[in-house]
Amino acid sequence: LPATGGVDAESLAAARQRAALEIRTRYRAVTADDFEFLCGEASPRVARALCVEPPNTVGVARIHLVPRIEPAERQLELAELIPDDALFQQVSDYLDERRLVGTRVELVPASFRGVSVVVNLQANLRADPRRVEEDVTTALYRYLNPLVGGAMEGAGAGWAFGRALNQGELYGVIHGVDGVDFVKILRIYETDLTTGEQQPKQAGSHIPLAEDELIASARHVVKAEHPEY
């Protein structure tokens, strides 16, 4: 039977970073970096973790978890992005053995800001408009993604927590797709990932995020046309 439940091989850069953290932490959770690292050690199902100290608290480590999803280069449903109870429990048990006495750990889902992009573009005469639409849509889902987003080319490490979205960077993503001549219209709308309801007013050219928020794609609409003569 085909193998199931596997994960991709660890990259050399990730191995170097993990080795340095292992030497430093000795598997004890002291700093925010320690907690984030140990969440990944607790289960391969943890893709990302952010540890913050809630305002007006002492000795509380609030950790936002993002579960691993395969494949991730697509529109991700909000339900997929919420860790299940079993994963929360597994991570909680692992950290409980390694936290300092007096430190309280709170595990919560990450917060997501849903965005929808509407694009109207002109395709090169030698390019198939339908193929261009598909490629641009895929590029947007990949870029505006909490797991593999944030890189102008190919898959990245995931949208950075708290990183604002600027409209200008989306032009670069779209123009990087083969067959795109130029973008006629590009609009961003904030969208409720639970209901799919899109805000009627455009979000503007700059969308700030809170420190514990991530960007996630709602439904994108891309239309490509050949020039008219």
pLDDT 10s digits, 69-102: 999 999 999 999 999 999 999 999 999 999 988 8
Distance in angstroms (rounded) separating the CA atoms of residues 173 and 217: 14
**3-state DSSP assignment of residue 22:** helix
Contact 170, 117 (CB under 8 A): yes
State the pLDDT at residue 89.
98
Instruction: Spell out a b/e string for 211-222, using b for 16 or more CB atoms within 10 Å of the CB, else e.
Output: ebbbbbbbebeb
> Inter-axis angle of helices 32-42 and 12-25, to 10 degrees?
120
State the pLDDT at residue 175.
96
State the pLDDT at residue 199.
94
Q: Strand 60-67 vs strand 180-190: parallel, antiparallel, or unpaired?
A: unpaired
Please give the model's pTM, rounded to 2 decimal places: 0.85
pLDDT, tens only, 55-68:
888 889 999 999 99
Distance in angstroms (rounded) separating the CA atoms of residues 229 and 219: 32
**3-state DSSP assignment of residue 216:** strand
State the pLDDT at residue 2.
74
**3-state DSSP assignment of residue 14:** helix
Positions of the chain with pLDDT lower than 70, given as ranges:
5-8, 10, 14, 18-26, 229
Distance in angstroms (rounded) separating the CA atoms of residues 165 and 95: 33
